[in-house]
């Protein structure tokens, strides 16, 4: 009896596919930095029992309606807004992701962005490299303190809670806004639940870690930035779609807020000529929130285990649509 067929949409470490290769015939797109073309993905999906996918792959109605053998789609990410989960559930297709394993790594990166933007780290490093450091001055590249300031976290899930934990080491006041109260974070970390408007008005650092949903799409507009402190730093390590980028650009140019640290953008990769990248008070990264070698290897292995479990008829470790 032949093994089920699984298609991997980006080159991943071979050793991470071990669990999958034991139960399936595995084919992999051979390029790591170039996404599989849409037409190739559609063709492979027609015969696939499992798809090992990235956020850049659109698993939409067209694909799901033309994949008669598909049993599981597993993302190499905690997010899954590239997948029509409702449609997949209707068709009995399991949708999996990689939560937990990337929580601390992504929280490290989010806090690093906060620190880099607040203390003007990248700008200062470039200042030295460009030969501009000719003398010392009392306020040369002076940023803003992190210790004893107020951090406002929008989206208090696993990663948001981990960022809050890091903030305690800097003796920050921790505010958060979330769809539901997180009593554990309040009790263990001293975090305070506040309405969104209060959070943006009081926080020195506003950190967005919310998923992209109908409610959060375009959440951060010029009106929101205008209500922040002029010294505030905005950090986005969630999804680019939560921010109206033209409004953020305006707020930064007008010094409505002080700085921004961004790991995600509406269009990725962000074009080199994007106006945000011309601003010295922006720290921009290429969506590397979970990009430590250890975490990415564990994520890749978890995707394989998720798919293998479904194909064997077992419950995967990380199932998004439990109704299936």
Catalytic residues: 239, 268, 287
| Torsion sign across C-alpha atoms 111, 114, 119, 122 | positive
The DSSP 8-state label assigned to residue 319 in this structure reads B
Helical H segments across 192-260, by residue range: 196-202, 222-227, 245-253
Q: How many angstroms separate the CA atoms of 25 and 6, rounded?
A: 6
- 1, 23 contact by CB (below 8 A): no
Q: How many angstroms separate the CA atoms of 245 and 263, rounded?
A: 13
Beta-carbon-side half-sphere exposure of residue 287 (alpha carbons within 13 Å)? 16
Task: Name the percent of the chain in helix, strand, coil, to the closest 5.
Answer: 35, 15, 50
Q: Which two tokens stand for residue 261?
A: 């640290």
Q: At what angle do helices 103-118 and 158-168 cross, to 10 degrees?
A: 50
């Amino acid at each position: 009896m032949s093994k089920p067929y699984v298609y991997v949409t980006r080159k991943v470490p071979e050793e991470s596919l071990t669990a999958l290769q034991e139960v399936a015939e595995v084919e992999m797109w051979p390029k790591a930095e170039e996404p599989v073309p849409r037409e190739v993905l559609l063709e492979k999906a027609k015969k696939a029992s499992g798809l090992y996918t990235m956020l850049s792959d659109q698993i939409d109605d067209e694909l799901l309606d033309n994949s008669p053998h598909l049993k599981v789609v597993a993302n190499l990410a905690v997010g899954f807004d590239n997948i029509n989960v409702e449609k997949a559930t209707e068709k009995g297709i399991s949708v999996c992701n990689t939560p937990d394993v990337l929580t601390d790594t992504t929280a490290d990166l989010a806090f690093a962005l906060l620190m880099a933007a607040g203390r003007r780290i990248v700008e200062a490093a470039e200042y030295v490299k460009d030969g501009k450091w000719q003398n010392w001055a009392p306020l040369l590249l002076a940023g803003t303190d992190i210790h004893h300031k107020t951090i406002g976290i929008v989206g208090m899930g696993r990663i948001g809670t981990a960022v809050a934990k890091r903030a305690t080491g800097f003796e920050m006041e921790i505010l958060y806004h979330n769809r539901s109260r997180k009593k554990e974070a309040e009790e263990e970390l001293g975090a305070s639940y506040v309405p969104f408007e209060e959070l943006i008005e009081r926080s020195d650092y506003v950190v967005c870690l919310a998923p992209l949903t109908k409610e959060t799409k375009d959440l951060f507009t010029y009106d929101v930035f205008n209500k922040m402190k002029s010294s505030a730093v905005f950090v986005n390590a969630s999804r680019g779609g939560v921010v109206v980028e033209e409004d953020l650009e305006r707020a930064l140019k007008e010094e409505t807020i002080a700085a921004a640290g961004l790991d995600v953008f509406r269009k990725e990769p962000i074009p080199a000529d994007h106006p945000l990248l011309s601003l010295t008070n922006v720290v921009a990264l290429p969506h590397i929130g979970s990009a430590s070698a250890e975490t990415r290897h564990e994520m890749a292995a978890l995707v394989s285990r998720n798919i293998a479990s479904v194909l064997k008829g077992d419950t995967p470790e990380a199932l998004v649509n439990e109704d299936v």
